[in-house]
Amino acid sequence: MTEMAIDVKGLTKRFGSKVAVDHVDIAVPRGQVWGFLGPNGSGKTTTIRMLCGLLTADEGEGVCLGLDFRTQSEAIKRQVGYMTQKFSFWEDLSIRENLEFVARLYGVEGRKARVDGTLKRLGLEKRQDQLAGQLSGGWKQRMALAACLLHDPQLLLLDEPTAGVDPKARRDFWEQIHALSDEGLTVLVSTHYMDEAERCDRIVYILNGKMVAGGTVAEVIEQSRLVTYILEGREARHLIGEFQDQPGVDYAGFFGAALHVSGRDRAALERTIAAYRDRPGLEVREVAPSLEDVFIQLQEKA
Amino acid sequence: MFSLRRVGAILIKEFLQMRRDRVTLAMIIGIPLMQLFLFGFAINFNPKSLPTAVSIADPGVYARSIVAAMRNSSYFEIVAETRSPKEARRLLQEGKVLFVLEVPVNFSRDLVRGATPDLLLEVDATDPASSGYAISAFNAIAGTALRDDLKGALKNRAPGAPPFNAITHLLYNPESNTHYSIVPGLLAVILTMTMVLMTCLALTRERERGTYENLLAMPATPLEIMIGKIAPNVLVGIVQSAIVLFMARYIFHVPFLGSLSLLALGVTVFIIANLAVGYTFSTVAQNQLQAMQMTVFFLLPSILLSGFAFPFAGMPGWAQVLGEILPTTHFLRIVRGVLLKANTASEIAGEIYPLLAFILVAGSVALLRFRRTLD
């Protein structure tokens, strides 16, 4: 049996009368990269904060790195690297000063060598004396990742680490994540990007605090039992309104220039689509639904 | 072009934001009210009921009459009676009393014999503002106190000058130089102001910049964070004190009679006490404006109720109790005591302990208020 880095059940958090996280189960085997998806306000950040002891769970039990996540959160903190959604390092300190501070707090042995090594690994050497506040988004994220790695954590909790970062920097960031995972690090990363979700071993999708889908990308797509048609061509862009409330259509929306029409009832959807098949200037074909089709459908359905 | 509509837009936005921040709004209205009542009733330019010791080497009807007259004047409150001038001097030295009335041996005998014996009022003049009115009152009392006691053969002595020599002896600051009390007092006020300001934003700033979450996610305990944040400011406070004391010595020529190392100890404890208050504010305040409000709320009584701006002994009892809580009150006594009265360690111990207790309480509140989670 594979050893679990995170194994919690029934995780629940309420803020007043609002249930932010509602009985979520997460079991991440060591060494895997899990993607945590869901719309804004669905409870991703709250879940991550509960896992690293920043919020007290109202319900739920389980272990994080073999330690009880409710009672041993201080011990868990020492082995977890947590990257906050908003940049949360000291902007009036340089990259190096920030890293040295973090290394001191964790009591890292051989601090200087460790900081040097981490700077090098993330390509921050040349910028080490720049103030963190003057860095662009991509470099800030890189520095934050460096700071999370200094104490050699076993688990990384990354809360939307690539939000607002340019595509190249995102790519580089994910290369780092995969390299770390190859070294045995477990990663739970929340994101809104489908390409990032597809790079995860498994994904968990939560909606209004509830887990509504989970598995590998292929499994999640298959579980959705979604049928998707693409309508392309110059006529396509005027059609979106026509598909709302048509039988068999759960969701219609543009992905780039193509109109995606998805539904779970194949027969009904095909009947609706049939009316558009022979229109001039419109190309209609069925495609395998993408992860984004699935998620938007889940969100529309709720 | 200037547009009233745009001014209006900003105005409405400001009001909306003000209304959202109820706590701050309540503080802005509540604090001035509290201060008005607090200081309105507490401050008194003409201090009465000042603590006085009487040292009577010759008990008798005359001594009793003089003491009674002093009591009746309402300026003096006799808190100790002793036969030993040494004991009376100790009370004065420790700041327990501001005045000592000394009735010398053979006072009655000399008076009856027709001589003019001395009647001595020793005054702690470190703070001339505290004692001025009472000294005038004493001189008036001396003239009339014995009028009814001079009967029979002594009747001819009743009118005119009193049958004794009323001598007022100003101790510690014989020239009633107000600099001597104000300048050391300023050290107390300056330290209170800057030290509380230094730490009142300690955590508020982390919270507003978003670094608080990061700090919490790392393995630092609340005590470690508190000590780490307070300690560097102790150094700042010490440098500041050194500058003020240097100026006091060489520009204002304040006497430095006591031990400097003892003063350094007092300064350090006082600095820590103020930093602890500021830090406690920063654990309570939700934003920087609130932290500043709390600082001002602490600062004003530290100036007005501590004995810096107005005589401590002249305040009503409840205000004195409040004053005793404030670190500035105790430090004022330490700094004036050491510099002007050459107070020794044992004499100021009674002021150091309250400071230590204050640090303990403020530190505990800060630690209890410190949230280790974001709940």
Q: Which of B210, B218, B374 sits opposite A77 (nearest CB)?
A: B218
Tell me the chain A residues in contact with residue B228 when contact means C-beta distances shorter than 8 Å.
Answer: none
A16 and A130 fall within a common domain: yes
Give the pLDDT score at A158. Answer: 95
Per-residue pLDDT tens for B171-230?
888 888 888 888 999 999 999 999 999 999 888 999 999 899 999 999 888 999 999 999
How far is Cα A119 from Cα A211, in angstroms, rounded to an integer? 37
Residue B375 or A76, more confident: A76
Write out chain B in H/E/C secondary structure.
CCCHHHHHHHHHHHHHHHHHCHHHHHHHHHHHHHHHHHHHHHCCCCCCCEEEEEEECCCCHHHHHHHHHHHHCCCEEEEEEECCHHHHHHHHHCCCCCEEEEECCCHHHHHHCCCCCEEEEEEECCCHHHHHHHHHHHHHHHHHCCCCCCCHHHHHHCCCCCCCEEEEEEECCCCCCHHHHHHHHHHHHHHHHHHHHHHHCHHHHHHHHCHHHHHHHCCCCHHHHHHHHHHHHHHHHHHHHHHHHHHHHHCCCCCCCCCHHHHHHHHHHHHHHHHHHHHHHHHHCCCHHHHHHHHHHHHHHHHHCCCCCCCHHHCCHHHHHHHHHCHHHHHHHHHHHHHHHCCCHHHHHHHHHHHHHHHHHHHHHHHHHCCCCCC
Per-residue pLDDT tens for A189-222?
999 998 999 999 999 999 999 999 999 999 999 9
A128 and A65 fall within a common domain: yes
Q: Which of B211, B212, B219 sits opposite A77 (nearest CB)?
A: B219
The encoded tokens of residue B333 equal 């006594």
A295 and A208 fall within a common domain: no
Q: Which of A55, A91, A106 sits opposite B218 (nearest CB)?
A: A106
Residue A148, domain extent: 4-220
A155 and A252 fall within a common domain: no
What CATH number has the domain bearing residue A242?
Answer: 3.30.70
A163, pLDDT greater than 80: yes
A84: nearest CA partner in chain B = B214
A157 and A78 fall within a common domain: yes
Q: Which of A203-217, B19-33, B143-157 has the highest mean pLDDT?
A: A203-217
Tell me the chain B residues in contact with residue A102 when contact means C-beta distances shorter than 8 Å.
Answer: 218
- Tell me, yes or no, if B153 comes closer than 8 A to chain A by beta carbon: no
Tell me the chain B residues in contact with residue A105 when contact means C-beta distances shorter than 8 Å.
Answer: 218-220
**How many other C-beta atoms are found inside a 10 Å radius of the C-beta of residue B161?**
10
Give the pLDDT score at A275. Answer: 84
ipTM of the complex in this document: 0.86
Give the pLDDT score at B80. Answer: 87
Q: Which of B211, B220, B375 sits opposite A88 (nearest CB)?
A: B211
B44, pLDDT greater than 60: yes
Q: Is the CB of residue B275 less than 8 Å from the CB of residue B9?
A: no
Distance from CA of A117 to the nearest CA of B (A): 21
Residue B355 or B80, more confident: B355
CB contact under 8 A, A56 and B213: no
Our count of domains for chain A comes to 2
Give the pLDDT score at B151. Answer: 66
A102 and A216 fall within a common domain: yes
A101 and A212 fall within a common domain: yes
Distance from CA of A77 to the nearest CA of B (A): 6
Which domain-ending residue is among A194, A220, A246?
A220
Which domain-ending residue is among A170, A192, A220?
A220
What CATH number has the domain bearing residue A186?
Answer: 3.40.50.300
A38 and A73 fall within a common domain: yes
Per-residue pLDDT tens for B228-286?
999 999 999 999 999 999 999 999 999 999 999 999 999 999 999 999 999 999 998 88
Which domain-ending residue is among A220, A239, A256?
A220
- Tell me, yes or no, if B222 comes closer than 8 A to chain A by beta carbon: no
A169 and A248 fall within a common domain: no
Confidence class for position B155, pLDDT limits 50, 70, 90: low
Give the pLDDT score at B42. Answer: 85
Q: Which of A166-170, B39-43, B103-107, B264-268 has the highest mean pLDDT?
A: B264-268
Range name among A19-23, A158-162, B135-139 with the lowest pLDDT average: B135-139
How far is Cα A240 from Cα A36, in angstroms, rounded to an integer? 30
In chain B the domains, ranked by start, together with CATH numbers, are: 50-171 (3.40.1710.10), 177-369 (no CATH)
- Tell me, yes or no, if A70 comes closer than 8 A to chain B by beta carbon: no
Q: Provide the chain B residues 156-215 that lie in CB contact (below 8 A) with chain A.
A: 209-214
Q: Read off the pLDDT of each residue in B324-341 and give the average, rounded to a whole number.
A: 94
Confidence class for position B159, pLDDT limits 50, 70, 90: low
Q: Read off the pLDDT of each residue in A9-25 and give the average, rounded to a whole number.
A: 93
Give the pLDDT score at B178. Answer: 83
Give the pLDDT score at B240. Answer: 95
Give the pLDDT score at B156. Answer: 64
A168 and A260 fall within a common domain: no
A110 and A13 fall within a common domain: yes
Mutating which of A105, A108, A156 best tests the B interface, going by the most B Cβ atoms within 10 A? A105
Confidence class for position A122, pLDDT limits 50, 70, 90: very high
A120 and A187 fall within a common domain: yes
